[in-house]
Amino acid sequence: MKPRAVTFDVAGTLVDARWDPRRAVEQASALAGIEVAEGSGDAYGALYAQRLPAFHAANQVSDDAVRDFWIRLDEEWLRGCGQDPSLATALYDAGWELLFGPGSRVFVPFPDALPALQRLGGDGIRLAAISNWDNSLPVVLDMLGWTPFFDLVVPSLVFGHEKPDRQIFDHAIARMGLSPAHALHVGDDPIDDLQGARGAGLRAALVDRSRAESTPPYLRSLDELELAFAWTG
């Protein structure tokens, strides 16, 4: 049965996400002209991991709160590196350019992603992004020129529940005014995407580009996504 909507995971499904906060802060420092010792990004990664609850909370508040989180984290890291913490805003701006500016190689679309979005959209199928991601998800989709394809974008940290929690799927389907039986979810994780979507009543398929052929529930490529329209689970 042809679905009325296809919901997509993003990282690992549509986009090869290469973000590593440890290396990203070192690269951003170089862009900003801030000298730090080689490997100092490891301390940044540790600080970020320690403050994850605060990061999650900021996503629930606003984009400005998330920006403030990063700048405070940058200040603390710069201080620990023996650098002037007042450089934190310049470091943040350089990091933004690295991640989301022209020519970014941090979020790289898989070759089969855009053709799939174009085919589905041209066939009148509605699209949504449901991803375990922070508030930057709409920025990434906009950077890639994909915003017009999506009726709805649901980053888990902004919504407040992550896959495989069915609440994020329930929310998306309700917002689109559909029955779960009329939607197909496509992801890459057997727990978050397959079990999560099925638990909310959606059909589901997984992308595994290492496979030799597409057999339920696995697609070897989004080029063969329409095969999953006939799958029942």
Q: Name the residue range of residue 51's domain.
A: 21-100
Question: Each residue's pLDDT tens digit in the chain (233 positions)?
Answer: 899 999 999 999 999 999 999 999 999 999 999 999 999 999 999 999 999 999 999 999 999 999 999 999 999 999 999 999 999 999 999 999 999 998 899 999 999 999 999 999 999 999 999 999 999 999 999 999 999 999 999 999 999 999 999 999 999 999 999 999 999 999 999 999 999 999 999 999 999 999 999 999 999 999 999 999 999 76
Helix (H) or strand (E) holding 96: helix 88-100
The answer on 9 and 92 residing in a single domain is no
Residues 92 and 134 reside in one and the same domain: no
Structural contact between residues 203 and 183, judged by C-beta atoms closer than 8 angstroms: yes
Q: Cα-flanking dihedrals φ and ψ of residue 181, to 5°?
A: -65, -15
Contact 132, 125 (CB under 8 A): no
Pairing of β 107-109 and β 15-17: antiparallel
91 and 118 assigned to the same domain: no
Residues 148 and 76 placed together within one structural domain of the fold = no
**Is residue 206 domain-shared with residue 219, that is, in the same domain?**
yes
- What CA–CA distance (Å, rounded) separates 183 from 230? 12
Residue 194 is classified by DSSP as I
Q: Which residues pair with 154 in a beta bridge?
A: 130
What gap in Å lies between CA 6 and CA 222, rounded to an integer?
12
